[in-house]
Amino acid sequence: MVNFSKILGLEQLKHDDGILGIFDGDEMRITTSSYSAVTLAKLFWRYGLDIYNIRSWVKDVTEKFSRIYTIQDAGFAYTSVMDLLQAMDPVFVKYMKKSIKSVLKADGYSDRFIDEFVTGAMRTNYGQNADIHGFVGAVSLAGVEPGLWSVKGGNYRIPENLIPLSKINLIQGDVKSITLLEYQESNYELRYLPTSPKLANNAEIQTKGYDVIVIANPMHDGFPDIKFEDFPNEIKNFPQKFHRIIATFVDGVPNNTHYGFENLDGFPSTILTCKNDLFLNSYGKHNDVLGNPAEKSVGDRSVGKIFTNRPPTEQEVNIYFKKKEDVRMVNWLAYPEYDFDIDNLPPFVLHDNMYYINGIEMAASAMEMSVIGARNVALLSYNHWYGHLDKIDEPYVDPSQKSDKAEL
Ligand SMILES: CC(C)=CCC/C(C)=C/CC/C(C)=C/CSC[C@H](N)C(=O)O
């Protein structure tokens, strides 16, 4: 994503860390300060060295993760998510088989740190708890470390600007079916309903032939079904479930008394919650996509976002906001439920020359992961097409590390 933002000349908007609080439903377990020395002292008092060590833990994991960029630059690609993780670092395969709670416990982190800080991070980033697997847990922890950024103007500007740069012929439409062809000019026939606004309701089903198909949309219950016709083996949605999340944006004033604050002085800009049965996953104060306070923010008024696992009723919104000028809700299947059978993950290859990117979300759902999954599929299809089998499912060995013996 960093490279894309540079290539496209998009500005990175650094996020101000602000005051962070962790709420257990009755009281704040910790509230940081606008003075960094006070924050450090408070975090150290509550979590001891865990709060320092987690930073180097995430750094170490990120360095291992970053190997994927060298591997992909060298043209290597993988047919399964586990092979891709194994190529980055074998420890990631182990993380997929344990919960983040047990990974961190084995690395010496305290129950208090895991039950408050780690659980809070999992609840805000993935709507789940510290029982989710260790790899997605690590990604989630990377997401609460300082230094987070977004694209000025909105993250959507990355894919939007990549489309003209790639010079593709974009046809907007809903894919209805993919038929395997035999001994014809192309490998597949795709049937789709154009969705261009110009066509309004007059669109008719169209067909088009393709040599290679890449599916970049989750194939799970709750997502539109594509019919796969004339394949020797049945191709259907995968069994893993997706997690529904509701983001409710409120232009108004947060209800400080609910969290035990007498007024809004020192009220956190981010509140994580740390009990699994709580309705509220997290609260966050939001600027607009240009980094400015929301247009009508005056006095105590601001835009706040709460994440919940089901739509809040009006009474429930009133618990978290004492004044509301405008309320908007976004309700979507955001990421997998990370409690699936690890031995049964979706593959990157559905059939010869037909690929599927979104299986990568089973490792972790995040923009960076989607980009890595997409590049893997692009390399995989290239390597298959041109017969570069030595670059498929092979461990990458850095040429500068090869000894003479290894050469022989
Ligand atoms: C430390 C590891 C394993 C990876 C670092 C690279 C990476 C994928 C960073 C993403 C960090 C991030 C912004 C996480 C936020 S959680 C995902 C969020 N809920 C979403 O839906 O995008």
The ligand 1 site (C-beta within 6 Å) comprises: 58, 61-62, 65, 125-126, 138-140, 142-143, 335, 365-369
380 and 389 in contact (C-beta within 8 Å)?
no
Q: Give how far the C-alpha of residue 255 lies from the chain's centroid of Cα atoms, to the nearest Å.
A: 29
Q: What is the ipTM of this complex?
A: 0.92
For residue 146, the model assigns a pLDDT of: 85
pLDDT tens digits, 75-131: 999 999 999 999 999 999 999 999 999 999 999 999 999 999 999 999 999 999 999
Cα(299) to ligand 1 centroid in Å equals 34
Q: Whole-model pTM?
A: 0.94
Tell me which residue has its CA closest to atom 17 in ligand 1.
366
For residue 404, the model assigns a pLDDT of: 55
pLDDT tens digits, 219-236: 998 888 899 999 999 999
Query: For residues 53 and 110, what is the distance between their CA atoms, to the nearest angstrom?
Result: 11
User: Is residue 196 very low, low, confident or very high in pLDDT (cuts 50, 70, 90)?
Assistant: confident
Tell me which residue has its CA closest to atom 15 in ligand 1.
143
List CB contacts of 140: < 8 A, sequence separation 6 or more.
100, 121, 122, 125, 126, 132, 364
Cα(396) to ligand 1 centroid in Å equals 24
Number of Cβ within a 10 Å radius of residue 69:
13
Cα(349) to ligand 1 centroid in Å equals 24
Tell me which residue has its CA closest to atom 7 in ligand 1.
139
Cα(62) to ligand 1 centroid in Å equals 10
Tell me which residue has its CA closest to atom 4 in ligand 1.
139
pLDDT tens digits, 283-303: 999 988 888 776 666 678 899
For residue 407, the model assigns a pLDDT of: 52
User: Is residue 197 very low, low, confident or very high in pLDDT (cuts 50, 70, 90)?
Assistant: confident
138 and 61 in contact (C-beta within 8 Å)?
yes
Q: Which of 100, 361, 368 most suits a substitution to test ligand 1, by most atoms within 8 Å of the C-beta?
A: 368
For residue 366, the ligand 1 atom closest to its alpha carbon is 22
User: What is the C-alpha end-to-end distance of the chain, expressed in Å?
Assistant: 39
pLDDT tens digits, 207-216: 999 999 999 9
Question: Which one, of 305, 310, 306, lies nearest residue 243 by Cα?
Answer: 310
Tell me which residue has its CA closest to atom 22 in ligand 1.
366
3-state secondary structure (DSSP) of residue 345: coil
For residue 334, the ligand 1 atom closest to its alpha carbon is 21
Q: Which of 55, 103, 125 most suits a substitution to test ligand 1, by most atoms within 8 Å of the C-beta?
A: 125
Tell me the mean pLDDT in the region 351-365: 97
Cα(143) to ligand 1 centroid in Å equals 5
Tell me which residue has its CA closest to atom 13 in ligand 1.
143
Cα(127) to ligand 1 centroid in Å equals 14
Specify the DSSP element, H or E, that contains 173: strand 173-180
pLDDT tens digits, 322-331: 999 999 999 9
For residue 192, the model assigns a pLDDT of: 96
Query: For residues 243 and 239, what is the distance between their CA atoms, to the nearest angstrom?
Result: 13
Cα(133) to ligand 1 centroid in Å equals 14
Tell me which residue has its CA closest to atom 3 in ligand 1.
139
What CATH number was assigned to the domain covering residues 1-408?
3.50.50
Residue 385 in this model has a pLDDT that exceeds 90? yes
* Percentage of the chain modeled with pLDDT above 70: 96
Cα(108) to ligand 1 centroid in Å equals 23
Tell me which residue has its CA closest to atom 20 in ligand 1.
366
Cα(137) to ligand 1 centroid in Å equals 9
Cα(368) to ligand 1 centroid in Å equals 7
Residue 177 in this model has a pLDDT that exceeds 90? yes
For residue 125, the ligand 1 atom closest to its alpha carbon is 19
Place of tokens 């003075």: 35
Query: For residues 402 and 353, what is the distance between their CA atoms, to the nearest angstrom?
Result: 33
| DSSP 8-state secondary structure symbol assigned to residue 217 | S
Tell me the mean pLDDT in the region 349-360: 97
Tell me the mean pLDDT in the region 22-43: 97
